[in-house]
Amino acid sequence: MISKKSIEELARKQQTLEINIVREYFQHLFLSYLYQKKSSECILFKGGTALKIIYNSPRFSEDLDFSGFNIKFKGIENLILDTILDIEKSGILTKIEEGKSTTGGYLGVFLFKFFEYEISLQVEISLRRSKRKIKGEIILINNDYIPSYNLVGLSCSQLVEEKIQALLDRGKPRDFFDIYFLLRSDLPIDKRNLNLFPVLKKLENTKINFKRELKVLLPKSYHMLLKDFKGVLRKEIKKYGF
């Protein structure tokens, strides 16, 4: 179990709030226990938190997103409940606030109490059928919180496609930052073939105050970037022919 001193030291090192460190600790703990379970290979980790944990995005994230295949709701529910039980056995007070089937799969909301912190963690698993085959990769996760562990993540190319689609569907501040991270990263993707024109159009039309919305989720060293984030992202997109 992580110590209070370690939380404080990591918050200083990563230039962020202690609450972000504690939340990320629980995310690692959840993933580590989950992927020790039988049938967990049917659940592929994805989304903004995957960018943070697998590919070292600087943006702290607030939830865990997955794609599921060859598994039914009951199997997912059992996996999640067993994972929460393992966390509770480690001495952390846990509470299941919500756990239900949705039109697209599974949604769970869990509350963890640790020292003076109270962390809510949302877990969403999509079971929507897709015409294309879902590809997963076994990935070793080295981190500052717990011993290294393996997880199964959505392939890098499909993760990027889903992040672009998420931006086009909902256009949240974090979606725009994730696109910025992807364009600046050295991930093995062909950036010139990404569907960036509608992303640029969405950016031009947005009224989001990026500094207000993203400041709490980014290290202090990124706060300067937020002063004109719209202009910064526009410049990155236009590097690829738009």
CATH code of the domain in which 96 resides: 3.10.450.620
* 197 and 146 in a common domain: no
N- to C-terminal Cα separation, the chain = 48
**Model pTM score:** 0.94
pLDDT of residue 8: 97
* 49 and 111 in a common domain: yes
Domain final residue pick, 154, 184, 214: 154
Domain of residue 82, residue span: 1-154
pLDDT, one tens digit per residue, over 92-135 is: 999 999 999 998 899 999 999 989 999 999 999 999 766 677 88
What token pair was written down for 63?
């939830």
* 241: confidence class by pLDDT, cuts 50, 70, 90: low
* 212 and 140 in a common domain: no
Report yes or no: 11 and 32 within 8 Å, Cβ to Cβ: no
Number of domains in the chain: 2
| Alpha-carbon span 191 to 181, nearest angstrom | 12
Domain final residue pick, 131, 154, 177: 154
* 62 and 25 in a common domain: yes
* 64 and 166 in a common domain: no
